[in-house]
Amino acid sequence: MSGVDPAELTAKLVRCASVTPANEGALEILYDLLSDAGFDCVWADRGGIRNLFARWGNKGNTRSFGFNGHTDVVPIGNEADWTMPPFGAEVKDGVMYGRGTTDMKSGVAAFAAAAVDFVRKTPPDGSIILAITGDEEGDADDGTTALLDYMTDHGERMDVCLVGEPTCPETMGDMMKIGRRGSMNAHFRVVGKQGHAAYPHRANNPLTAMVRLMDKLASHELDQGTDHFDASTLAVVTVDTGNPVTNVIPAACTAAINIRFNDLHSGASLTTWLEQQAKEVRENFGVQIEVEVKISGESFITPPGPLSDMVSNAVAAETGVTPTLSTSGGTSDARFVKAHCPVVEFGLVGQSMHQVDEHVRVEHIHKLKAIYGRILKDYFA
């Protein structure tokens, strides 16, 4: 195959053990490749996180196509559970194994390869921007947000952006993302009065109040979904007391929930609802309840239109599959990009991401490069 081999580039990136927030040379590989192809590359580091901004073309061109992705990966877990080296990028029967092969070093490699080949063969009338972070799998405080801040401070702009996260559930090309649900976590601490389990009237059991509160939250129907979103969900993820005995009513307990919400809600409106529910239980049970909320991202959608049509058409042309437009799944850095420009996501089949023996079919990496190359050609046509 001509041009930059995206599978070889993927393998180089996978061999960098860039468990978030470590970089281990992954972004330097991309810096060198893109610089050699005429991209202006700048480090947009912040908070100890390495971030790469690369632009081909003049700043302020009338058309600018952007790509966002990450080279950091989640931990490997117990290495003894892996049947292949987690950072070996070894290929067996046409499948490459290693942490980050699916999420999402292959996506970054495929776009970088497509972009380099494109500007070398048919220099476009416009700009191509790659904003690659080393802080997506972690707190994400100094990753894509730092890149976007850098762009604002230096007059850089993406007119549209493609995020290369894995998006396909079953087969290559079957789904793209035009939005994402919002995500938030809430932690609760209920304080009552400790006492002997044989004399519950002399205590005030915080667990009774906590169980009632968790039941109120979990049994409440937040909504029934919208035109582009499934119904919002609330999951109780932990209830803890640390009580090792059965004859003592504890003084306090904690719990946590996660909410994935659609465009009928905001983080602020759900926070108000949670605080109101806690207030009602507090007054009914005479306990103290503390509520701490962290909003990971708001829901968003890029309405179907020219950008999603262009990506969908390119996917169909290369795979024979027309992708479903979806807002399912977890969060991604598209939640930050959406405030900068219209954004959609398309990438590989994601069945093995974050798993032991994470892997990708080598042919799919080449197919993804072809899709990204077609998108660039259609955008600058």
Structure tokens given for 222:
């937040």
- Please tell me whether residue 375 adopts helix, strand or coil conformation: helix
In a domain, 86, yes or no: yes
Predicted confidence at residue 61, as pLDDT, reads 73
In a domain, 202, yes or no: yes
CA–CA separation, 302 and 180 (whole Å): 10
Q: Which of 224, 107, 85, 239 is nearest to 167 (CA)?
A: 107
In a domain, 160, yes or no: yes
Residues labelled as active-site residues: 72, 136
In a domain, 150, yes or no: yes
Structure tokens given for 345:
């996501």
Burial of 135 (C-beta count, 10 Å sphere; 0-12/13-18/19+):
buried
CA–CA separation, 10 and 67 (whole Å): 17
Residue 176 shares a structural domain with residue 191: no
Q: How many domains does the structure of the chain reveal?
A: 2
Residue 160 shares a structural domain with residue 31: yes
Predicted confidence at residue 183, as pLDDT, reads 95
Task: Compute CA 64 distance to the chain's CA centroid, rounded to the nearest angstrom.
Answer: 23
Residue 73 shares a structural domain with residue 160: yes
CA–CA separation, 201 and 340 (whole Å): 58
Residue 112 shares a structural domain with residue 154: yes
In a domain, 1, yes or no: no
Residue 355 shares a structural domain with residue 308: yes
Structural domain ending residue among the three candidates 297, 315, 339 = 297
What domain range is 194 assigned to? Answer: 182-297
Residue 108 shares a structural domain with residue 19: yes
Predicted confidence at residue 329, as pLDDT, reads 84
Residue 42 shares a structural domain with residue 188: no
Residue 306 shares a structural domain with residue 288: no
Pairing mode, if any, of strands 40-43 and 51-56?
antiparallel
Predicted confidence at residue 60, as pLDDT, reads 77
CA–CA separation, 183 and 275 (whole Å): 17
Structural domain ending residue among the three candidates 297, 327, 346 = 297
Residues in Cβ contact with 176 at an 8 Å cutoff, skipping those fewer than 6 apart: 167, 308, 311, 312, 315, 323, 324, 325, 326, 344, 345, 346
Residue 67 shares a structural domain with residue 196: no
Residues in the chain where the model's pLDDT stays below 70: 1
Predicted confidence at residue 2, as pLDDT, reads 75
CATH number at residue 262: 3.30.70.360
Pairing mode, if any, of strands 64-70 and 127-133?
parallel
Under a CB-based contact definition with an 8 Å cutoff, are residues 184 and 259 in contact?
A: yes
Under a CB-based contact definition with an 8 Å cutoff, are residues 165 and 347 in contact?
A: yes
CATH number at residue 130: 3.40.630.10
In a domain, 31, yes or no: yes
Partners of residue 258 on adjacent β-strands: 185, 235
In a domain, 373, yes or no: yes
In a domain, 213, yes or no: yes
Exposure string for 333-346, b = 16+ CB within 10 A, e = fewer: bbbbbbebbbbbbb
DSSP-derived letter for residue 219 is H
Residue 37 shares a structural domain with residue 159: yes
Structure tokens given for 148:
């976007």
Structural domain ending residue among the three candidates 297, 315, 347 = 297
Predicted confidence at residue 366, as pLDDT, reads 98
Residue 85 shares a structural domain with residue 50: yes
Residue 59 shares a structural domain with residue 201: no
